[in-house]
Structure 1
Amino acid sequence: MMRHSFFLAVFLGLYSCSTKTDNIYPEKRTVTESVYASATVQPDSLYQAYSSVVGILDKNLVEEGDLVGKGDGIVQIINTSPKLSVENAKLSFELAKENYNGNAAILAAILDEIEASELKLRNDSINYFRQKNLWAQNIGSKLEFDNRKLAYELSQNNVSLLKSKYQRTKKELQTQVKQAENNYKTSQTLSEDFTVASKIDGKVYALYKNPGEIVNTLEPIAAVGLSNKFMVELLVDEVDIVKLDLGQRILITLDAYNSEVFEAKLHKIYPRKDERSQTFKVEAIFIAPPNKLYPGLSGEGNILIAEKEDALTLPKEYLIEGTKVLTEDGEVEVITGVQSMDRVEILSGINENTYILKPK
């Protein structure tokens, strides 16, 4: 019985020691609050190159990894647009020109109408003013005078309408000629072999088609970006996006560089959320980048949103419901401040001399 009591006392003593070590005093230290994000390295100004025509890829003019200048060709495409469209466009262009300034032009016919109407106007004018003079001398009838006047006014209106018709028709025919010419030039361009050129001075990071494959306007055929400047794409959870501001420091670790930490600066925040991942994309620029970088290198980023020195802190596991701690006198309400991954700042409610018990 005494032996049993001895072991019980030893057990209770060990238990009380072990539980006592779980109780602590708050500590003053520097605490940093950050937002976690997954990181991927990408070339700056990276874009997907597309073809503006449908055809067959004749040949790749460069290889993946080659440097290119702005305007340098990337791929050559044989356009498969039917030649008949070129002939139709040519015929439409020639017809439009013929209508505008040919021998049987529409404008020439209107000019003939104007000339005939002006001759009639002169004749009606002579008759009207002659009859007017006679009527002033009380010679002739009022009906005859009114008829001469009406014929004269109708001839005036007819000449005016025909001249307006001429100007309007001329403008319409000029527009038709220009449109037909543009269509003809476009069809000529599309009927020729087509070269997709680089929009920037950079590097070809990917070629998506091989010679002989069909090319369309919906699928990219190459990826091109800057060769000497990289940025970091970060995916941030939607609950954290409101904490971010441009210019904030970011600590980045890359899997390819083990535990080495690189500094970057928040450069851009994309305002649209990805509904599938429930994340927002942001971009960062390295302050001092690694010596070697490749597209697609992955890692992690911690965006620093707050930092406080000499702060009174506790481990997070000592908080009860986020706003209370357990002391020797019972639960006490506290106000928290900056929070890191494992510690939280205590603004009020306890001090350095408050003995904190770990909650069960």
Structure 2
Amino acid sequence: MKKLFRRLFAIWILFLVICLAQCGTSTDKIYPTRSGLTESVYSSVTVQPDSLYQVYAAVGGILEKNLVEEGDKVRKGDPIAQIVNNTPLLNMENARLNLELARENYSGNNAVLSSMRDEINSARLKLQNDSANYYRQKKLWDQKIGSEVEYDNRKLAFELSSSNLQLLVGNYERMKNELKTKLIQAENNYKTATIASEDFTVTSKINGTVYELFKNQGELVSSQEPVAAVGSSDKFVIEMLVDEVDIVKIREGQKALITLDAYNTEVFEARINKIYPLKDERSQTFKIEALFIDAPEVLYPGLAGEGNIIIMEKKDVITIPKDYLFDGNKVKTEDGIIEVRTGIENLDRVEIISGLDTQTHILKPGE
């Protein structure tokens, strides 16, 4: 029994010595190293067709049938869906009748303008007669022949005839302009109604692929709801969401390394093509677009992945792990705490510009 106790005691002592020896040796003491360092900004990635847009109908109605299927390629102007609605046809017919009436009124063969022209002709003849009588009487009165009352009556009749003619001509011109305006309005209404009646067939605005159909045959279609989604067939863009703290580092033309879940660990190069200036308040991110330098052979809308946008690359610089740096610019060494000047960084390492060399042991803070 004593031998067993002494044996267990010896094993315990040996274990204690090993622990003390290990505790006396810091495993978190390292040297700074020289290596290349790349600073990058992380982003989530979604692949979408270029020029992707939702197709809307210009008129409401019932979807008679879809003229394409998802995945079909279309050219600009090709029909996508057919809509049935009798209301625009009735509106077009009413607009046509109003146009014919306005055109007839303005042509001058209607009773209004015709009677006004007759009144103007009568007033012009009356003015000629009153004018002749007035100047004849005036000539006699200048010779002191006749009475002043007769002269005044001739003069008043002439002036009234002149004013009446001017009034009739003015009314005629106003009526003519009004009818002309109504004619133009009727023509515009007819054109609008004609366009609406022609918009029963929804067509593609680009050359591309039909990626989605939103309505089935017999469903109600309104001008506020899309009927399809169409985008480029062979050109895709990379939509990237960047945190607001990193957006100021992003510039057009920067290189990005893209990985897609569908392609496992394969890395694709891209270039930043566009930066959207408006922040998404819900996600606190900015959207940017990139284009593949060498795109994968097969792409589908909505493919997801991750991206790293290269901000800066340096070769042969002194770096340390980021968890050995504290307070932003301090490092713990065997001789105490020293301050350093840092440069670029990535997820786990940071560049040391000055304050450290590769011969100085550094300790992890807290050791």
Tell me the CA shift for residue 157 of structure 1: 5.0
Please give the TM-score of this superposition, normalised by the length of structure 2.
Answer: 0.87
Asked if structure 1 preserves the Cα contact closer than 8 Å seen for 2:58 and 2:199, the reply is no
Q: Choose which of 244, 247, 252 in structure 2 pairs with 1:246.
A: 252
Which piece of structure 1 moves more, 225-234 or 341-350? Answer: 341-350
Q: Relative to structure 1, is the Cα distance of residues 198 and 191 closer, same or farther in structure 2, using a 3 angstrom cutoff?
A: closer
Shift of 1:7: 5.0
Give the match for residue 110 of structure 1: 116
1:147 CA displacement = 6.8
Q: Does 1:325 align with 2:334?
A: no
Q: Structure 1 residue 280: deviation in Å?
A: 1.5
| Residue 258 to residue 127, structure 1, CA distance change in 2 (3 Å) | same
In structure 2, distance between residues paired with 1:27 and 1:314:
7
TM-superposed CA distance for 1:14, in Å, is 0.3
The residue number in structure 2 matching 1:285 is 291
Change (3 A) 1:349 1:54: same
Corresponding residue of 2:321: 315
Change (3 A) 1:154 1:277: farther
Q: Which amino acid aligns with 2:213?
A: L
Superposed CA RMSD: 2.8
The residue number in structure 1 matching 2:201 is 195
Give the equivalent residue in structure 1 for 2:213.
Answer: 207
Shift of 1:298: 0.7
For 2:155 and 2:343, locate their aligned partners in 1 and report how far apart those are by CA, in whole Å: 98
| 1:317 Cα offset (Å) | 0.7
- Structure 2 match to 1:166: 172
Decide whether aligned partners of structure 1 residues 346 and 219 sit closer, same or farther in structure 2, where only a CA change above 3 A counts. same
> How do 1:9-48 and structure 2 match up within 5 A?
9-17=17-25, 19=26, 21-48=27-54
CA distances 1:118-175 after superposition (whole Å, capped 9, x unpaired): 2343234334434544454456777876776666556545544543443343233223
Given that 1:100 and 1:106 are in contact with CA atoms closer than 8 Å, whether structure 2 keeps it comes out as no
1:255 aligns with 2:252: no
Deviations 1:228-270 (A, max 9, x none): 1111111111221121111110100000110000000111111
Larger radius of gyration: 2
Cα distance between partner residues in 2 of 1:91 and 1:116:
34
Q: Name the CA distance, whole Å, in 2 between partners of 1:5 and 1:325.
A: 37
2-side partners of 1:123 and 1:6: how far apart? 145
Higher mean Cα deviation, 229-238 or 99-108? Answer: 99-108
Contact kept, 8 Å, 1:328 with 1:357, in 2: the verdict is: yes
2:95 is aligned with 1:66: no
Q: Does 1:225 align with 2:231?
A: yes
Question: d(CA) in 1 for partners of 2:330 and 2:20?
Answer: 29
CA contact (8 A) 1:56 1:80 kept: no
Query: How far has the Cα of 1:86 moved from its partner?
Result: 4.2
C-alpha change, 1:117 and 1:338, in structure 2 (3 Å) is farther
1:99 CA drift (Å): 2.1
| Whole-angstrom CA distance in 2 between matches of 1:319 and 1:306 | 21
Distance 1:96 1:351, change over 3 A: same
Relative to 1, partners in 2 of residues 1:335 and 1:112: Cα closer, same or farther, differing over 3 Å? farther
Partner of 1:275: 281
Amino acid at match of 1:295: P
Any conservation in 2 of the 1:79–1:192 contact (CA below 8 Å)? no
CA distance in 1, matches of 2:20, 2:165: 121
The question of whether the paired residues in 2 share the 8 Å contact of 1:206 and 1:223 is answered with yes
Asked whether the 8 Å contact 1:79–1:193 carries over to 2, the reply is no
For the pair 1:95 / 2:98, whether they are aligned, the reply is: no
Q: CA deviation at 1:193?
A: 7.7
Tell me the secondary structure at the aligned position of residue 293 of structure 1.
Answer: coil
Distance in 2 of aligned mates of 1:306 and 1:172: 71
Tell me which residue corresponds to 1:53. Answer: 59
SS in 1 for 2:242: strand
CA contact (8 A) 1:40 1:232 kept: yes
2:3 match:
none
Further displaced range: 117-126 or 306-315: 117-126
Unmatched 5+ residue regions in structure 2? 1-5
- Distance in 1 between residues matched to 2:227 and 2:343, nearest whole Å: 51
Aligned to 2:183: 177
Amino acid at match of 1:10: I
Query: In structure 2, do the counterparts of structure 1 residues 289 and 117 end up closer, same or farther at CA, with 3 Å as the change threshold?
Result: same
Check 1:140–1:75 CA distance in 2 against 1; reply closer, same or farther (3 A cut): same
Q: CA deviation at 1:82?
A: 6.7
For residue 347 of structure 1, the aligned residue among 333, 353, 363 is 353
Shift of 1:91: 3.6
Structure 2: distance between partners of 1:226 and 1:329: 63
Deviation, 1:288, is: 0.3
Change in 2 beyond 3 A, CA 1:323/1:120: farther
The structure-2 alpha-carbon separation of the partners of 1:149 and 1:65, relative to structure 1 and needing over 3 Å to count, comes to same
Distance 1:134 1:13 in 2: 148
Percent sequence identity is 61
Q: Name the stretch that deviates more: 248-257 or 217-226.
A: 217-226
Q: Distance in 2 between matches of 1:333 and 1:282?
A: 37
Q: CA deviation at 1:349?
A: 3.0
